[in-house]
Amino acid sequence: MPKHILAAISDLHVGSAVGLSPERFPLDDGGHYSPSREQLWLLARWHEFWASVKAMKRGRQLTVVVNGDIVEGGHFPGSQLSTASPETMEYVAGELLKPVRKVAARMFMIRGTPVHVKKGPGAEEIVGRAIGTEKIGRNYSAVELALNVGGVRFHFSHHPGTGGGKLPWTRGTGMRQVALKLWMNYRSHDHQPPDVAVRSHLHVFDDTPSSLPIYAVRTPAFCLANEFAKKVGAQNEPISTIGGLVFLIEDGKWHMEKLFYSAAPPREIRVE
């Protein structure tokens, strides 16, 4: 059986002033957007993540799953946006993902939050079709994906269905709900449950203990905390953890590596 490597990323939020951005991209009026220092740091970590994936690949077949919210969307015009154009956001997201598509044997797109990516076949569908990702049924994106990679069965969906586990002292509770609910649903219908469930959306890593029948894990984001996250006290602020997950698969067994990076704390102003 061939060896595999699966990379799972999510929540790029391209088009946000704290989301993933190239060094420069064109705006519709003929100007250009120049990212902030923090966004340049984020872009460097994006390149570092994929360099690490390539180094870990070593003859393995690479599968990539982009687990939703690739763009910020124009839901709040003028609020921390690099552009108010959803079409520009989708174009830039496609440009950032094209190099990934070139090195991946298989690449799948999972739909994110409608307020960001539009309802139905929105941003992920448009970008997936543009860069040539795998079809899921007749579309280039889907709300969920059951994927068997090298004998390991995965279930992907953007939304966890629970907000638990965002805070340090509640870690594990959210993904425990995901794992047990999914296991009971499959077993109650006499189907074999997946081995691994991957969720995203909350921008905070969380996972279950290995003693559960399904390992459920939530990805961090590839964007920094925005004003809303700071207002509601989300755990990806003031110091954000960004990055993705990498699963090494061989002979039906898997091992997960966390490729995480910590943003800098708020800059201190000294008063002597």
Identify the pLDDT of residue 209: 86
Percent of the chain beyond pLDDT 90?
Answer: 77
60 pLDDT band, cuts 50/70/90, is very high
78/75: higher pLDDT: 75
Most confident of 9-18, 25-34, 221-230: 9-18
What is the structure's pLDDT at 84?
87
Measured between alpha carbons, how far is 44 from 39 in angstroms, rounded to an integer? 9
Q: How many CB atoms lie within 10 A of CB 250?
A: 16
pLDDT on residue 79: 73
**Who's near 209: CB < 8 A, 6+ residues apart?**
172, 176
- At residue 61, φ and ψ (nearest 5 deg) are -85, 125
User: To 10 degrees, the CA torsion angle through 125, 219, 149, 103?
Assistant: 60
Residue range 119-137, pLDDT digits in tens: 889 999 999 999 999 999 9
User: Quick one: pLDDT at residue 235?
Assistant: 60
Q: Is residue 138 predicted with pLDDT exceeding 80?
A: yes
Q: Which residue has the tokens 């094209």?
A: 98
pLDDT higher than 70, residue 254:
yes
Burial (0-12, 13-18, 19+ Cβ within 10 Å), 43 = middle
Helix 37-57 and helix 86-103, axial crossing angle in degrees, nearest 10: 30
Confidence of residue 87 (pLDDT cuts 50, 70, 90): very high
* pLDDT per residue as tens digits for the range 155-210: 999 999 887 777 788 888 899 999 999 999 999 999 999 999 999 999 999 999 88
Q: Which residue in the block uniquely carries the two structure tokens 């799953």? A: 65
Give the pLDDT score at 120.
87
Q: What is the pLDDT of residue 198?
A: 98
> In degrees, to the nearest 5, what angle opens at C-alpha 97 toward C-alphas 132 and 21?
150
For position 77, what pLDDT does the model report? 58
- Beta strand 144-149 with 152-157 is antiparallel
Q: What integer best gives the mean pLDDT of the chain? A: 93
Residue 207 sits at φ, ψ, to 5 deg, of -155, 175
With a cut of 70, say whether residue 78 has pLDDT above it. Answer: no
